[in-house]
Amino acid sequence: MESYETLLNKAYQQVKVITVSKDRFDIPKVTGQIEGKATVITNFKAIVEYLRRQPEHCAKFLQKQLATNGKIDGDRLIFNTKMNSQKVNEKIQMYADEFVICPTCKKPDTEIESEKGIKSKHCLACGARSPLKQF
């Protein structure tokens, strides 16, 4: 039989550490420019890193919500149409509300998990689980 300390060390190794937790969750505003008929979001990588989500997942959501095609090019996201930055910021906030912020404790310390093909949001702060909509 293992000692209490050994079991406790194993448990600590399995606990996920919350690296950033703020009382106020301020998503960086988009910066970019219009290039011909395209809109380039130059700080897209910084935004998804702050949200702690996959760039592809966020880009797919934004493309669907903004009804436009786009692609990830390095640290940038390029939409194939001219777009107002306020509109993009609103959609990023919608993404955060749906896929990042916990509906129970309102903290951004969540992760997306998939069990048997069903995706859910698991809060590392309070332990709540909530189902996610498919898009």
Question: What pLDDT digit, counting tens, does each position of 64-83 carry?
Answer: 999 999 999 999 999 999 99
Q: Residue 68 sits in a domain of what CATH number?
A: 3.30.70.3150
How many domains does the chain divide into?
A: 2
Whether residues 58 and 120 fall in one domain: no
Whether residues 46 and 92 fall in one domain: yes
> What pLDDT is recorded for position 82?
93
Whether residues 94 and 135 fall in one domain: no
> What pLDDT is recorded for position 23?
53
Pick the closest to residue 61 from 111, 27, 99 (CA basis): 99
Task: Judge whether 65 lies within some domain.
Answer: yes
Low pLDDT (below 70) residues in the chain? 16-24, 135
> What pLDDT is recorded for position 8?
86
> What pLDDT is recorded for position 12?
83
Q: Which residue range(s) make up the domain with 114? A: 103-135
Task: Judge whether 83 lies within some domain.
Answer: yes
> What pLDDT is recorded for position 58?
96
Rounded CA separation 72/56 (Å): 8
**For residue 2, with 0-12 CB atoms within 10 Å meaning exposed, 13-18 middle and 19 or more buried, which class applies?**
exposed
